[in-house]
Amino acid sequence: MPDSLGEVQEDMMQRGGCLCGAVRFETTSVLRDVIFCHCSQCRRQTGLYYAATSVPRSSLRIMGDTLRWYHASDVARRGFCGTCGSALFWERLEGDTVSVLAGAFDDPSVLRPGYHIFTRGRAEFYRIADDLPCYADRAPDPSKDP
């Protein structure tokens, strides 16, 4: 049984990175349920939709020097590897959390699905075929987007 905070955090640590391995990350907190964002910005960046969890900024350690940030709007920026182009992060400029793309984790089986947002903006060629809650626009708590 863990007897210190450090041991508990080590048990919660998850790792991941980009396709080429130039950017790696570690998280040391409980991961939020995965939110699936179908907005046009997420579709254009990833080719379909974002699937991301979230962690407090203070519990995310990013390693490597190829991480690049794109300010996609006046409220958020998107982090990606400057070498291979892998989409990795979404961050609200005035928030205290960072969204981490689900597919970037070394072991994505630790993640749980949550709900879909901005479904009004989804591409017409696919359907959402699960029983998760769907929101045409923002979620009931927009601070959790995406």
103-123 tens-digit pLDDT? 999 999 999 999 999 999 888
Residue-wise pLDDT tens digits, 13-60: 999 999 999 999 999 999 999 999 998 888 888 889 999 999 999 999
Cα distance between residue 146 and residue 144, in whole Å:
6
- Residue 142 pLDDT > 60: no
- Tell me the average pLDDT of the chain: 88
Q: What φ, ψ does residue 53 adopt, rounded to 5°?
A: -100, -175
C-alpha distance from residue 21 to each of 102, 103, 105 (Å): 16, 14, 12
The correct answer on CATH 3.50.50.60 for the domain covering 5-139 is no
* Structural element, H or E, at residue 92: strand 87-92
Q: Is pLDDT at 8 greater than 90 in this prediction?
A: no
Q: What does the longest C-alpha to C-alpha distance in the chain come to?
A: 52
